[in-house]
Structure 1
Amino acid sequence: MRIRRTSFTAAVVLALAACGPASPEPETPTPPAPTVSTTDTTAAKAAGAKDAQPLPAPENAQSAPAEFDPVAEGMTAAGVKKLCDDHLARAQELVTAIKALKGAPADKLTYESTLGRFDDVILEVASAGEFPYLMGVAHPEAAVREAAKSCEPKTDAFTTAMWLDQDLAEVLRAYAKKGDKLEGERARLLSDVLRDFRRNGLELDAKKQQQLRQMNAAITKGGQEFMSNIGASTESIEIDPKSLEGLQKEYIEGHPAKDGKVRITTDYPDYFPFITHAKDRKAALALYVKFTNRGGKQNVKLLEDLLALRSQKAKLLGYETWADYAIEPRMAKTRKNVREFLDKLQAALKEPAKKELEELRAAHVAAGGKKTDVLYPPDRYYLEEKVKKAKYNFDSQALSEYFEIGAVKKGLLDITARMYGLEYKEVPAKAWHPDVTAYEVWSKGQKIGKFYLDLYSRQDKYKHAAMFGVRTAKRLSNGTWQHPIAALECNFPKPGAQAALMSHDDVVTFFHEFGHVLHHMLTQSELASYSGTSTVRDFVEAPSQMFEEWAWSREVLDLFARHHKTGAKIPDDLFSAMTRSRAFGRALATQRQVFLATIDQELHSRKTPLDSTKVVAEVQGKTDVFPYVKDTHFQSSFGHLIGYDAGYYGYQWALSLSRDVLTRFRKDGLLNTTTAQAWRTEVLAKGGGADERGTVARFLGREPSHDAYFSYLAGKE
């Protein structure tokens, strides 16, 4: 998943939490990464973004700086601090230049000198914060991580001050009153900026503005601590070697006993296979409790403090709840609309989920359990495997034999290069860890971007799978194009003595996250504000959710999925079993997503202070067929609550759009290059600069519909 933290102006494409859909991770969406910020971009009245054109240099301002390489500059403690400080200083120079126009005659208030320059500020704050945020969660050295984390409070303080700057607002409002005819993303930017001065407290008195500054600083600090606690939390259980029964040979060989015990950690490559395949369900439940409680009770306290701060901030700005504040600029618009959407989903899932649960219980009894036994959340994955194997003859471990990670990576790159007319050139990474690889992206003989792949789990690394922005694309004020840079952070198996075999869930996750990379790479927005994945939060996952479908296609899988020993393609019977069993478990998995979205809404809608553990237990009792597990506090490890606060519903909202988009790809062919180019031009290239619903409508040739989504939920696809 991809998320922009801090604020709209920062344009920081910062990922937060897993986006991998099919993965059994409790907070992961069932088909997915955002997004967007304190202020998401709204659905503008403008019809769409213009093609990017060179802009004249701004009047009375320094020339735009040369393109910079944040990776080369920011991989040391001193370097990452300097990178942050230098770009914030540049941002301040630009703000000062705009403010100097206060009281200037109308002919001096040009787009370039006001709103265009304001977008340059957005770029500089993004440049200050993007790579330091990544280094704060991915660099192997603690000193660098700590130095990097010092940047986010600075960028947040800067953007808070900027939105509260009366002189800056006066100049931009004066330009708006001038009435220049703006089109496309420029018109959208003016509308959003004027709205966001209000949303960020400009109309408050001086005393309340100071309170807002203090709240924003405390929210930033609390969010950093919350995520750091999750990242540093690697819990484990010790089990007898016999408790590995049911696991793959490679997994067992990778977990040798020491002093008669085997250690299983809560890191993804350990956790997911164990809870899905281990026959020792007591051990699986014990590991689930450890996994769910990552972040510890300190994160429960931090979260409840954050909820109180967010509630206070919302009220200070004139909103009843944080949910009302956060949802206003998104596609959903209101908390009421989100509630109705979730209620509709819950109702549609009630009977299908009940039927799936009955099949899981039958599988439990067939395996020797009792009808009266309690089934716990991790049992869903284990019993789904049983049902799929018995009913559909599907063996997920056998399927993983065809997904060696190197072959999957090559296949993914080959397929996207073919679809979008791209070329990937591997280049020396010179990155933050030896495991990291780097690729330049070329199109029609021109370099258009670069991305880094950091695919394997390690200590103190970001625990989920997500795309992080490293550099934002923009048409610079001197007319040159700054191409984008991204990093993909994952926790897949690492090649070693045993073959690094991915589950099919991992493969789907890889395709999903690379969908975010493509969105970031293929942007042609002239503005940093709307570059790449800088769309409204409840749309941003749609392109990557859509791309998951490629990992289910026989045509696509035959291009790279080979048995790691024999080189054979996936057998017809195994592929058929995979696709026939696909729909089973979908209702329960989606119900889980509704549960998570409802937790998010409840925590951000209720009066504070509150007991967040009690809220989790209550919501689980109302929305999930699996019971709350005593002595757990899931919210302590729910990373989406930082950055996706009151926005988790967006995964399902975007999924509806993605299933609709797939109707054209299915009709034309998933590898149809004409259709792929239309998707690139009409949607991916626009970023957030055009109304998201409108871009989808243009691609489809009609208004979007929920029909495909509800057909999908009913298991008809």
Structure 2
Amino acid sequence: MSNPFFETWTTPFGLPPFDRIQAEHFPPAFDHGMAENIAEIAAITGNPDAPTFANTIEAMERSGRFLNRVGGVFWNLNSSNTTDALETIARDYAPKFAQHSMRIALDPALFARVADLYERRATLDLAPDQLRLLERQHLGFVRSGALLPPDAKARMTAITERLATLHTLFGQNVLHDEKDWQLVLEESDLAGLPDFARNAAAQAARERGQEGKYVITLARSSVEPFLTFSARRDLRQVAYEAWIRRGEHEGEHDNRPLIREIVALRTEQAKLMGYASYADFKLDDSMAKDTSAVERLLLQVWGPAKEKAAAERAELQDCARAEGMNEPIAPWDWRYYAEKVRQAKYDIDEAEVKPYFVLENMVRAAFDTAGRLFGLTFTERPDLPVYHPDVRVYEVTEKDGRHVGLFLHDNFARSSKRSGAWMSSYRDQENFDGAVSPIIVNNNNFSKGEPTLLSFDDAETLFHEFGHFLHGCLSNVRYPSQSGTSVRRDFVELPSQIYEHWLAVPETLSTYARHHQTGEPIPQDLLRRLLAARNFNQGFGTVEYTAAALLDLEFHTRSDAADTDVAAFERSVLDKIGMPAEIAVRHRPTHFQHLFAGSGYAAGYYAYLWAEVLDADGFEAFLETGNPFDPDLAAKLKTIYSSGDTRDPMELYTAFRGREPRIEALLKHRGLTQSLGDA
């Protein structure tokens, strides 16, 4: 059988020929790609000519293209539509890729050429993007251990390989628990559930061979509505405890021993690099710069958030007591009584709102907002191959018809897909050896329905991931290493989070929030009540997030991480910060994939709040003009989306805003300003 990875793809726009790619195609393609990449690096280091930007840095940018193409397909499929065969390949190859990348990063001859250029950078007459690329490449080598003695380099490589295996196993264990668990319900168990939740549970039951019954799964879009509406407190507790205990079961899928080893290895890694803790190491290359800046931001929000949550809890307890429930509010009660209080305070409930948030219409809202702000047009291409029938493909063009890229939208939960929502790319934009257009995917985990109805939070998630898509799609850079979202972690959430604000623009909702049966727009009175309720329960939301970010920081600021008892450590941290007993941390350690299924957000979960300071302050600029689609500001914002990592992030932000960001807009957006004044 021919292997598509060894052929030139004739699919339109170079989209992977998903209909022809099989699991067995990946190992030989990976092996070839790594060997080819090593040969490319050897050609750079063996060049007898003195190092130049062209024969070293640009040659590195050209290297690894075959491997990147194969990896782009594999890692996306493994996240979105995995199989036993793909999971086996992931376990086998994760340490091999780590070893491969470290072999290049610690190649002394390659680093010598880069270091020579770095020392002479002021004399090389480089363009600004080239100078930044050289400086960032040099820093990347140093942070990988290029300046370490040989024994420390060998240990860094061993640690990196082992971490790659542990990260892969961690994610697979969470997916196993999510696939393995279901709560099967009879008609008599559905008290309190509105039609959309019943329909989604019936659909989930059909997909799992439970025709005539109803199934709640551990997809957030399934379990959260159940916790919000089910009148069965006993069943809410069952669902809640399964949700928070993912990855926390004795046996082969237990993530606790993996966390202990991951944290210990990261601490050792940081110490090899001369840092006191992994957080110090990680944050040294961030906008925040150090742990004290991160802690200062989190604690600035933590106090007011706890105060607001305490006031919310008192209201919930009163509501529960009025309904005859005299026990203290438990974590599986919070969403249920919060919805009742929201109905009473704002005369609004999710079951009334959700029929107006049809998935198709919200997608169109995201598209049309991008059209108004940035001049983009989206045309569905059902003729193009996809990796699963749920996936929709759109061609993205400029107003003049120029092709910009492809957008793959994969919106529904399924057992072969990891939980959460994320953006990823099959191919990044570049203009190096000719123009290369991006191919980008957004993954969500909505419960499929006829039609699929979203909560307001779901719609915000859709806009959030679409903001990441725009960051990749609008990228207009020369070199692939600087493309799209290849920016610092605490800046990458700005383009995604600022885009969420356009969902709540009254004009957007008046146009696209339409009843799924009648097509009528959302009534203005309901719209007013919906927007008035946006700050409701923000104490809860801010507490569960900020606690997770503080827990992340505590895990990674330890100077001695050996033999960490994960559960005891979690309890001690939450006790220390005064975590309310009725609220669970948003991600408990054993399923905290941001931290332990990879290193991207390790010591970096604060990034969402850091970026929220930027996005709230940034959107305030549009409000100040009186026009959320102000064309001059939109053009400045487009520069942030299009610049990738060619410029310093704070420089990009101040060029857009005219000044550095201020925290007041975030506090106002979260409804914490009154609490801050009282604190």
Aligned-partner Cα distance in 2 for 1:690–1:207 = 36
Give the Cα–Cα distance (whole angstroms) in 1 for the partners of residues 96 and 62 of structure 2: 18
The CA distance in 2 between the partners of 1:695 and 1:460, in whole Å, is 39
Structure 1 window deviating more from structure 2 (68-77 vs 210-219): it is: 68-77
Task: Please state if 1:237 is matched with 2:187.
Answer: no
Identify unmatched segments of 5+ residues in structure 1.
1-63
1:155 to 97, 101, 104: 97
Pair 1:687 & 2:644 matched: yes
Q: 1:92 aligns with which of 38, 62, 84?
A: 38
CA 1:624–1:555 in structure 2 vs 1: closer, same or farther (change >3 Å)? farther
CA distance in 1, matches of 2:9, 2:660: 42
> Does residue 309 in structure 1 map to residue 265 in structure 2?
yes
Q: Report if aligned partners of 2:373, 2:634 keep a CA contact under 8 Å in 1.
A: yes
Aligned equivalents of 1:633 and 1:707: distance in 2? 27
Aligned pair partner of 2:84 in 142, 150, 154: 142
One-letter code of the match for 1:672?
Answer: D
How far the C-alpha of 1:692 sits from its partner, in A, is 0.8
Q: Give the corresponding residue for 1:671.
A: 629
1:548-587 to 2 correspondences below 5 Å: 548-587=500-539
The alpha-carbon deviation at position 509 of structure 1 amounts to 0.7
Unaligned runs of 5+ in 2: 1-7, 675-679
Partner of 2:437: 483
Q: Give deviations 1:465-514, integer Å, cap 9, x for gaps.
A: 111121122223x3x0111111111111324xx43211111111101111
**Structure with the higher fraction of residues in helix conformation:** 2
Structure 1 residue aligned with 2:602, among 623, 630, 645? 645
Higher relative contact order (CA 8 A, sep 6+): 1
Which whole-Å CA distance do the structure 1 matches of 2:143 and 2:158 have between them? Answer: 16
Are 2:339 and 1:385 equivalent residues in the alignment?
yes
Corresponding residue number in structure 1 for 2:5: none
Distance of aligned partners of 1:637 and 1:74 in 2 relative to their CA distance in 1, 3 Å threshold: farther
Q: Corresponding residue for 2:671?
A: 714
Task: Establish whether residue 211 from structure 1 lines up as the match of residue 155 from structure 2.
Answer: yes
8 Å Cα contact 2:405/2:473 also seen in 1: yes
Q: 1:155 to 1:402 in 2, by over 3 A?
A: same
In structure 2, the CA distance between the partners of 1:141 and 1:197, relative to structure 1 (3 Å rule), is closer
Moved more, 154-163 or 64-73: 64-73
Indicate which of 106, 126, 129 corresponds to 1:182.
126
C-alpha distance in 2, partners of 1:525/1:585?
41
Aligned counterparts, 1:152-301, within 5 A = 152-178=94-120, 179-234=123-178, 235-239=181-185, 241-255=187-201, 262-297=214-249, 298-301=254-257
Question: Which segments of structure 1 move beyond 6 Å, counting only runs of 4 or more?
Answer: 64-67, 257-261
Cα distance in structure 1, aligned partners of 2:71 and 2:211: 46
Secondary structure class of the residue paired with 2:403: strand
TM-aligned CA distance change 1:168 to 1:175, over 3 Å: same
Tell me how far 1:284 sits from its aligned partner.
Answer: 1.1
How far does residue 403 in structure 1 lie from its aligned partner after superposition?
A: 1.4
The secondary structure found in structure 1 opposite 2:448 is: coil
Report if aligned partners of 1:332, 1:538 keep a CA contact under 8 Å in 2. yes
Following superposition, the deviation at residue 622 of structure 1 comes to: 3.8
2:397 to 442, 454, 458: 442
Length-normalised TM-score, structure 1? 0.84
How far the C-alpha of 1:684 sits from its partner, in A, is 0.5
Higher mean C-alpha displacement, 136-145 vs 522-531 = 136-145
Aligned identity (percent) is 28
Contact kept in structure 2, 1:250 and 1:499, CA below 8 Å:
no
Rounded Cα–Cα distance in structure 1 between residues aligned with 2:60 and 2:649: 23
The aligned amino acid for 2:470 is L
Check conservation: 2:617, 2:666, Cα contact below 8 A. Answer: yes
* CA-based RMSD: 2.6
- What amino acid is the match of 1:535? V
Q: Which has the larger displacement, 645-654 or 523-532?
A: 523-532
Q: Describe the superposition over 1:57-91 as per-residue Cα deviations: whole angstroms up to 9, x where unpaired.
A: xxxxxxx9998544559831133335434443443
Question: TM-score normalised to the size of structure 2?
Answer: 0.89
How far the C-alpha of 1:446 sits from its partner, in A, is 1.6
**Residue 413 (structure 1) aligned to one of 350, 367, 384:** 367
- Displacement after TM superposition at 1:716 (Å): 6.5
Partner Cα distance (2:306, 2:221) in 1: 32
- Structure 2 CA distance for aligned equivalents of residues 429 and 492 of structure 1: 23
Secondary structure of the corresponding residue to residue 637 of structure 2: helix
Do residues 115 (structure 1) and 66 (structure 2) align?
no
1:132 matched residue in structure 2: 74
> Structure 1 residues 160, 623: closer, same or farther in 2, change over 3 A?
same
Correspondence for 1:425:
379
Q: How many residues align?
A: 642
